[in-house]
Amino acid sequence: MALSRKSVTTLTDSPLIKASLELCTSMLQQCDHFFPFAAYQVDEQYRSIFAEDTLDTRNEYRLIERLQQRLVNIHEHCDELTSVLVYDAMVTDERGDTTHTIVITETLGKSSQTHLFPYSFNKGDLRIGLPYKLLSD
């Protein structure tokens, strides 16, 4: 997989990505990470999916997989659905530098695209950098 910068204005035109980034910003201003979540849009209404209270939250990978499976199930019933799966990750670049990243996989109908938003804290202020888009080889 390769990385490519994506125009910020194009991404923020997506209402689900914009709303997801606003929620991530709000959560990251309260603590240094957030739990995965998903959201989708049907008939101009937004719905969110958070982890069930009964899940073991120590294993975030399982949370991401369960959220992804719930989105797959929802997509099976509605072809024109737009959804996002959002989680916090540490990403290492080709130079070996590790960065906190908000990962947003947006699915539009049957196609999906993953966007990476690096973020950092500077004197207590949250800074979200320009996004990258994952490109298939």
Domain of 52? 2-132
What sections of the chain are H helices per DSSP? 8-12, 15-28, 60-77
- Please report whether residue 119 resides in a domain: yes
- Please report whether residue 116 resides in a domain: yes
- Please report whether residue 16 resides in a domain: yes
Interacting residues of 31 by C-beta distance below 8 A, sequence separation 6+: none
- Please report whether residue 83 resides in a domain: yes
pTM of the prediction? 0.81
**Percent of the chain clearing pLDDT 70 (strictly above):** 81
- Please report whether residue 137 resides in a domain: no
Separation CA 137–CA 134 (nearest Å): 10
- Please report whether residue 13 resides in a domain: yes
Neighbour count for residue 85 (Cβ, 10 Å)? 23
The 3-state DSSP class for residue 74 equals: helix
- Please report whether residue 81 resides in a domain: yes
Task: Write out pLDDT tens, residues 16-75.
Answer: 999 999 999 999 988 888 889 999 988 788 888 987 654 555 555 588 888 988 998 888
Domains: count for the chain: 1
- Please report whether residue 52 resides in a domain: yes
